[in-house]
């Protein structure tokens, strides 16, 4: 029986014509069909981790979210330094550029027809900053006054600074740090430390320091209150009754959300007036508000599916997701497609040109390029560099290569012997022939002359150059004449696509400085971990700007910055950044930032190599699609025409 089924003639006669029919039918070109339907089909690199823009950080997510939501201002179709009105119709600002009033559109609607109000914005910024939501990107809102204290849950400081502790102010507790002390030995306390396990006085004192004053359970606060002086080391400036008052206040407000008390700089003056107070001068706030962290979430929908602090509610999934952008969610299949369609409630719906967009999360850039060339898509996400030459020859009309605010660089661990000498770091930076990188390795990139690329009115002083002579001198001065005795450092990379650039640097250093390094390829997780723990010598890395201002490339090099990872810091550099934050005129501000950037390049914790470029394929029928420095796609202006 078994055997007969296998090759039964009847089966063959049934299957063969079917297969033949399938194969012989000529396929219609999907891209052409979609043009007639007004639906744009594009590659989007990866499956988004989610569409709750308070919880994501990636570029694929950003492209989707900008089609579904809109900030106070919006992206101009082709200008980079102009931000036309979005959810806000207009805005006023004080002289200092620290106090902004946004007038929301009266006709602004969520995609379910509910009005978009200033309360939605306050709720959104509250949620993003809420310490219990633990949003990765909360620091994008640290520009708001008191936002950082609230997000970091500095409860003592918030209570002291806002008259919640009778007879005491924050100044009285100068130097108090209520955050967890990671150096405390938590043996026997459990992980995380538990109060119940802290049996004796000594263990309880350790518990208090390990958890931090701002994060104690009520029992621990009660215990401290019994005898505050000898159970915690208080700043000398605080009087005993003040300490008692602070502990009482902490006890009273335990578990309470301090958003109101903290007086975070966002308030709804009325339903359509939003006031934003900033801790520093931010002349580029409208452009910043086009970053999705500044977009609103629909309060009524988020709360219908859970609490303000719930991370995993289904509000941001199909079919619940409600936005205020030009499009709304139509379909979501993992690793396959996310389709959006025209949002009829959008205030500017009549000027939206497309009927919908299909985002395909294609991880493999070769697959994506093949699909584009086979007529299945209108735009690819990225073009593999090794295909650029062929495409330039055969499909020049489809090739797009556009500047993108990003920098590739080599990060130095300045705590390593040798690399701790700025002359060594400079020698390594000066021996890199950037033209070669740009010509042969980084397709479409431009050579870096400093850390920040040019953007708008800002251009950094050109300090980086190729000067092997000077590099050799510096190396000799540092005690390594002709590279003798130079330590054998390793250059850390992740992903094999970074190997060519690493090998090029290796060869240049060998040729010009007579030193040899090794290349170490690690998976992404350990590559990141090694840098964060300063367990590396040199690392090949990159950074893409979040908004169009040089601070997005400079702030990261401050002491303790989560992305610094070089062990380098400079009081002078940080002083200049602080000075720039007080300047409200663009020219004066940029002049100070230029000096800060010079200071950074003087310390050379990184050797910038090139500035990014976006390389991709675009169908001739796509209109309203212009190069944008941040690669933000203002979807509502995009069109399809034969």
The interface with another protein within residues 190-219 (CB under 8 A) comprises 191-192
Smallest gap from Cβ 70 to another protein, in A, equals 23
Q: Residue 18: helix, strand or coil by DSSP?
A: helix
Q: Which window, 89-97, 216-224, 379-387, 519-527, contacts another protein (CB under 8 A)?
A: 519-527
Nearer to another protein, 98 or 186 (CB): 186
Q: Residue 503: helix, strand or coil by DSSP?
A: helix
- Closest by Cα among 242, 34, 281 to 145: 281
How deeply is 350 buried, as exposed, middle or buried, from its count of CB atoms within 10 A (0-12, 13-18, 19+)? Answer: exposed
Q: According to CB under 8 A, which residues from 103 to 142 bind another protein?
A: 131-132, 134-136, 138-139
352-353-355-358 Cα dihedral, nearest 10 degrees? -100
Q: Which window, 263-271, 287-295, 470-478, 557-565, contacts another protein (CB under 8 A)?
A: 557-565
Distance CA 329, CA 384 (A): 30
15 binds another protein (CB under 8 A): yes
Distance CA 82, CA 102 (A): 17
567 binds another protein (CB under 8 A): no
Distance CA 1, CA 115 (A): 69
How deeply is 263 buried, as exposed, middle or buried, from its count of CB atoms within 10 A (0-12, 13-18, 19+)? Answer: middle
Total residue length of the chain: 642
Nearer to another protein, 84 or 192 (CB): 192
Q: Which window, 368-376, 508-516, 582-590, 592-600, contacts another protein (CB under 8 A)?
A: 368-376
Kindly state the tokens that stand for 364.
């493999």
Nearer to another protein, 1 or 236 (CB): 1
Residue of 167, 199, 235, 542 that binds another protein (CB under 8 A): 542
Residue of 169, 364, 415, 602 that binds another protein (CB under 8 A): 364
Q: Which window, 68-76, 83-91, 202-210, 559-567, contacts another protein (CB under 8 A)?
A: 559-567
Distance CA 412, CA 423 (A): 12
Nearer to another protein, 78 or 136 (CB): 136
- Report the 10 Å Cβ neighbour count for 500: 16
Q: Which residues pair with 403 in a beta bridge?
A: 613
Site string for another protein, 323-362 (x = CB under 8 A): ----------xxxx-----------------------x-x
How deeply is 283 buried, as exposed, middle or buried, from its count of CB atoms within 10 A (0-12, 13-18, 19+)? Answer: middle
Distance CA 404, CA 453 (A): 9
Size of the site for another protein (CB under 8 A): 71
Nearer to another protein, 335 or 440 (CB): 335
Q: Which window, 366-374, 432-440, 477-485, 581-589, contacts another protein (CB under 8 A)?
A: 366-374
How deeply is 476 buried, as exposed, middle or buried, from its count of CB atoms within 10 A (0-12, 13-18, 19+)? Answer: middle
Residue of 239, 507, 529, 591 that binds another protein (CB under 8 A): 529
Nearer to another protein, 135 or 329 (CB): 135
Smallest gap from Cβ 367 to another protein, in A, equals 5
Q: Residue 544: helix, strand or coil by DSSP?
A: strand
Nearer to another protein, 211 or 345 (CB): 211
Residue of 565, 610, 613, 615 that binds another protein (CB under 8 A): 565
Kindly state the tokens that stand for 72.
């106070």
Smallest gap from Cβ 641 to another protein, in A, equals 23
- Closest by Cα among 157, 572, 148, 622 to 379: 622
Site string for another protein, 282-321 (x = CB under 8 A): -----------------------------xxxx-------
Q: Which window, 27-35, 251-259, 387-395, 454-462, contacts another protein (CB under 8 A)?
A: 27-35
239 binds another protein (CB under 8 A): no
Q: According to CB under 8 A, which residues from 369 to 428 bind another protein?
A: 370-371, 373-376
- The CA-atom distances, in angstroms, between 590 and each of 410, 460, 479, 557, 577 are 25, 9, 38, 17, 10
Smallest gap from Cβ 348 to another protein, in A, equals 31
Distance CA 43, CA 484 (A): 50
Kindly state the tokens that stand for 530.
């090694």
Smallest gap from Cβ 299 to another protein, in A, equals 19
Distance CA 495, CA 527 (A): 10
Kindly state the tokens that stand for 400.
């797009």
227 binds another protein (CB under 8 A): no
Nearer to another protein, 55 or 451 (CB): 55
Smallest gap from Cβ 562 to another protein, in A, equals 3
Residue of 113, 175, 255, 525 that binds another protein (CB under 8 A): 525
Smallest gap from Cβ 133 to another protein, in A, equals 8
Positive or negative, the CA dihedral 520, 524, 525, 527 is positive
Question: Which residues fall within 8 angstroms of residue 94, CB to CB, at 6 or more apart?
Answer: 100
Distance CA 87, CA 85 (A): 7
Residue of 282, 541, 576, 593 that binds another protein (CB under 8 A): 541
The string of DSSP letters for 222-247 reads: HHHHHSHHHHS---TTS-HHHHHHHH
Q: According to CB under 8 A, which residues from 429 to 468 bind another protein?
A: none
- Closest by Cα among 347, 303, 343 to 323: 343
51-56-62-68 Cα dihedral, nearest 10 degrees? 30
267 binds another protein (CB under 8 A): no
Nearer to another protein, 346 or 404 (CB): 404
Smallest gap from Cβ 377 to another protein, in A, equals 9
Q: According to CB under 8 A, which residues from 610 to 639 bind another protein?
A: none
Residue of 255, 396, 562, 571 that binds another protein (CB under 8 A): 562
Site string for another protein, 143-182 (x = CB under 8 A): ---------xx-------------------------xx--
Q: Residue 617: helix, strand or coil by DSSP?
A: strand
Q: Which window, 77-85, 239-247, 484-492, 560-568, contacts another protein (CB under 8 A)?
A: 560-568
Distance CA 463, CA 451 (A): 10
Site string for another protein, 32-71 (x = CB under 8 A): --------------xx-xx-x--xxxx-------------
Nearer to another protein, 335 or 572 (CB): 335
């Amino acid at each position: 029986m078994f055997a007969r089924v296998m090759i039964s003639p009847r089966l063959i006669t049934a299957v063969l014509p079917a297969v033949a029919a399938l194969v012989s039918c000529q396929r219609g070109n999907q891209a052409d069909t979609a043009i007639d339907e007004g639906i744009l089909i594009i590659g989007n690199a990866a499956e988004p981790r989610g569409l709750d823009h308070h919880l994501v950080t990636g570029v694929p997510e950003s492209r989707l979210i900008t089609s579904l939501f809109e900030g106070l201002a919006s992206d101009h179709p082709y200008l980079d330094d102009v931000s036309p009105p979005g959810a806000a119709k207009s805005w006023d600002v004080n002289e200092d550029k620290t106090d902004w009033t946004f007038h929301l559109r009266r006709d602004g609607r969520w995609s379910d027809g509910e009005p978009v109000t200033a309360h939605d914005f306050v709720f959104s910024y509250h949620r993003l900053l809420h310490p219990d939501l633990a949003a990765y990107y909360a620091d994008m809102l640290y520009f708001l006054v008191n936002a950082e204290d609230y997000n970091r849950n500095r409860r003592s400081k918030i209570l002291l600074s806002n008259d919640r502790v009778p007879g005491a102010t924050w100044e009285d507790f100068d130097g108090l740090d209520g955050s967890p002390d990671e150096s405390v030995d938590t043996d026997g306390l459990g992980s995380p430390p538990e109060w119940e396990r802290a049996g004796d006085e000594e263990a309880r004192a350790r518990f208090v320091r390990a958890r931090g004053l701002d994060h104690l359970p009520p029992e621990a606060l009660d215990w401290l209150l019994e005898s505050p002086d000898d159970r915690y080391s208080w700043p000398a400036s605080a009087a005993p009754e003040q300490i008692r008052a602070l502990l009482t206040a902490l006890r009273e407000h335990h578990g309470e959300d301090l958003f109101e008390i903290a007086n975070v700089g966002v308030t709804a003056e009325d339903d359509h007036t939003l006031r934003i107070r900033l801790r520093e001068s931010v002349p580029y706030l409208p452009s910043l508000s086009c970053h999705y962290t500044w977009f609103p979430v629909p309060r009524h929908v988020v709360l219908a599916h859970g609490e303000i602090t719930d991370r995993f509610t289904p509000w941001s999934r199909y079919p619940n997701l409600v936005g205020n952008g030009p499009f709304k969610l139509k379909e979501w299949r993992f690793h396959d497609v996310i389709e959006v369609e025209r949002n009829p409630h959008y205030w500017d719906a009549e000027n939206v040109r497309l009927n919908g967009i299909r985002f395909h999360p294609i991880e493999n850039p070769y697959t994506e390029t093949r699909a584009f060339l086979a007529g299945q898509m209108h735009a690819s996400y990225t073009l593999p560099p090794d295909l650029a030459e062929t495409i330039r020859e055969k499909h020049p009309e489809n090739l797009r290569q556009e500047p993108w605010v990003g920098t590739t660089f080599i990060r130095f661990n300045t705590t390593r012997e040798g690399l701790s000498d700025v002359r060594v770091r400079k020698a390594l930076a000066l021996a890199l022939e950037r033209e070669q990188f740009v010509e042969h390795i980084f397709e479409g990139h431009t050579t870096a002359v400093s850390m920040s690329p040019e953007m708008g009115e800002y251009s950094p002083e050109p300090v980086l150059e190729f000067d092997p002579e000077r590099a050799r001198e510096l190396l000799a001065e540092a005690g390594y004449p002709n590279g003798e005795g130079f330590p054998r450092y390793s250059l850390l990379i992740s992903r094999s696509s970074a190997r060519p650039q690493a090998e090029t640097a290796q060869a240049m250093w060998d040729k010009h400085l007579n030193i040899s390094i090794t290349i170490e390829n690690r998976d992404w997780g350990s590559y990141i971990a090694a840098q964060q723990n300063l367990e590396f010598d040199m690392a090949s890395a990159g950074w893409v700007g979040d908004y169009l201002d040089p601070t997005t490339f400079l702030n990261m090099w401050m002491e303790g910055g989560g992305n610094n990872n070089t062990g380098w810091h400079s009081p002078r550099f940080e002083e200049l950044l602080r000075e720039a934050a007080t300047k409200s005129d663009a020219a004066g501000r940029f002049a100070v930032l230029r000096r800060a950037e010079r200071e950074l390049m003087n310390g050379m914790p990184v050797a910038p190599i090139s500035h990014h470029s976006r390389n991709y394929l675009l169908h001739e029928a796509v209109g309203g699609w212009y190069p944008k420095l941040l690669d933000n796609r203002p979807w509502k202006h995009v069109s399809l025409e034969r």
